[in-house]
Amino acid sequence: MQLSTWLAKAGPTTWLLIGGCLQCLLALVLPLRLIILLAALLLAIRLALSTRKTDKPLQSALPFQRDIRKGRWTAQIPHEDGSVVQRGSETEVVVFVVGASSSQYASSLLEFQSAGLGELTPDYSPMKLQTPEFKQLTQYFRGMWDEVESDRQKWGFLGRSSPLVGSTPAASTTVITLSYWKNLASLHDFALSPAHRAGWNWWNRTIKDHGHMGIMHEVYAAPKGHWENIYVNFRPFGMGQMQFVDVDAGAEEEGNGVPKERLKGPLIEAKGGRWGSMVGRMSRAEKGVEDIRAG
């Protein structure tokens, strides 16, 4: 076992014993007063550092709280000219849920734990326990997203969520992504795209010899007036992660001199009025809840 791995697993009792041994060794060569002074100095430094950390704003002390949008926000699809909509759910939206799973992780984890190696560490992450084929499958997924994100208007691609990953011995490793499209025709065009066809051909060649892998998808077509969302003190997710070409900003130049379209997000503040309720965000506030019940 590497020293760094052993130190990472060492508990408080182990560190107390190490400290006691070091103090005994110092007592053999240094006066008692000096040993006490060194211990007091180290304690003072630790207290000063901990106080300094707690004095920092919570935003900087907890990096994972960055990007959280305080208040109430809703994601809306702008007009074709980029202008902000005045009514919610003005266009249809297609939700494409796609996922991949591998049961190989379940058996690998059980073998790992039965070998007496304990819990997973950064050196034994779920993806590192995966087979090369599953890693290649995720690379094909990345290639598909890269293709549609390179020209969102051509593919009618509105955006996608951050991957949702679950890894347990019971549920295997499952990766799910929510994606959003202008209409079913756009999604069908994506199915015929070069990147998707390359991944699909690879899958058909590979799956017969690697039954531990699985893929899935679900499609939901929501007409206008039949979808809505709200985010309260929440990091942009799902429809909140959609991105649209900013037609007013023009293109920016990448390092290689190739123009790149500027993108903007979909979030607008939902302080009240038509944005303050579900029926309002679905542009049904005039008819009220009975309109929702009637479908």
| pLDDT tens per residue, range 216-240 | 999 999 999 999 999 999 999 999 9
Q: What is the mean pLDDT of residues 5-14?
A: 65
Which of 6-20, 75-89, 166-180: highest mean pLDDT?
75-89
pLDDT value of residue 94: 98
Amino acid at the residue 13? T
Residue 254 has pLDDT above 60, yes or no: no
d(CA 150, CA 250): 16
Kindly state the percentage of the chain with pLDDT values over 70. Answer: 72
Q: What is the pLDDT of residue 40?
A: 86
Say which residue, 228 or 112, is predicted with more confidence. 228
Q: What is the dihedral sign for C-alpha 284, 285, 287, 289?
A: positive
pLDDT on residue 114:
44
Q: Which H or E element spans position 174?
A: strand 172-181
The pLDDT value recorded for residue 236 is 92
5 pLDDT band (50/70/90 cuts)?
low
Nearest CA to 152 among 182, 178, 176, 177? 182
**In this predicted model, what pLDDT tens digit does every residue of 69-110 receive, in sequence order?**
999 999 999 998 888 898 999 999 999 999 988 877 545 444
The confidence band for 179, taking pLDDT boundaries of 50, 70 and 90, is very high
Section 199-217 average pLDDT: 91
CB neighbourhood size of 106 (10 A)? 18
pLDDT at 155 over 90: yes
pLDDT surpasses 50 at 111: no
Place of tokens 């010899």: 209
- C-alpha–C-alpha distance, residues 280 and 28, integer Å: 78
DSSP 8-state code for residue 137: H
Q: Which of 45-54, 69-78, 209-218 has the lowest mean pLDDT?
A: 45-54
State the pLDDT at residue 64: 63
Count, residues in the chain: 295
Give helix 132-150 / helix 194-206 axis angle, nearest 10°. Answer: 170
DSSP string of 238-285?
A: GGGG--EE-TTT-EEE-TTS-EEE-EE--EEE--SGGGSSHHHHTT-T
pLDDT score at 116: 43
DSSP-derived pairing of the beta strands 69-75 and 213-222: unpaired
CB 172 within 8 A of CB 101: yes
